[in-house]
Structure 1
């Protein structure tokens, strides 16, 4: 079963209070699950990876064997796809965890889109951050 997973992470300040948002949908676009979580103090990039990891975890729990991940972080998408190296030492464990999680799917894609095309996951992040204020 293929699932489409929209993920986003953000921090107010960099680093600062951070949150993640995940929207899991079927291939037909029907939303199966939404998640928003505060993750404490983190950078934007850490939050993006944490959102990716939660999205993959939820897709697996919902029975996916194929996943299409959509995010608005070109950096994370290009790192996971092997187009960019992971230079920052603190990011390497998150990258390794993401690639290991992706390896558990028969097929996967990760792509970045403009923020407007990831609006629901972005709204979940902001709602979680607003609850912290």
Structure 2
């Protein structure tokens, strides 16, 4: 079974109010789930992006436990996060490295889940971006 997951994270102020989101679709392009979460105040955009990835991996682990072997293509409009996840760039901030460590461990502990993370332009990530912005807009209410 194959899934596609678009993720996004955002921080208004950077650091500032931050949120993360993911949109899970199947091979036919049907949206199966959209999840977003307000993360807190005084957080960076990179923290929000890594949190979005961590949430997506947790959701995929849950799906893999339900459905067996799963292949997932996770897509992000953050080139930095993609390069850090794929170990092309080092992660210097300890709080970001801690999230990355949890993501990598979660993937290693679930061999029935194969995940790739790739970069997509912002135009191809509109649903996840909109979910982040809705979450941030709702926080202001």
Correspondence 1:57 to 2:58: yes
Residue 129 of structure 1 corresponds to which residue in structure 2?
A: 136
Structure 2 unaligned spans of 5+: none
Q: Is the 8 A contact 1:24 1:59 kept in 2?
A: no
CA drift of 1:112 comes to: 1.2
Task: Give distance in 2, aligned partners of 1:102 and 1:77.
Answer: 15
Partners of 1:125 and 1:4 in 2: CA distance: 18
Do 1:68 and 1:109's aligned partners in 2 also have CA atoms closer than 8 Å? yes
Unaligned runs of 5+ in 1: none
The superposition leaves residues 60-106 of structure 1 with CA deviations (integer Å, 9 ceiling, x where unpaired) of 22236211100111111001111111122221101111222233254
Counterpart residue number, 2:96 = 91
TM-score, normalised to structure 1, is 0.93
Superposed counterparts of 1:29-40, under 5 Å: 29-40=29-40
Q: Which moved more, 1:104-113 or 1:90-99?
A: 104-113
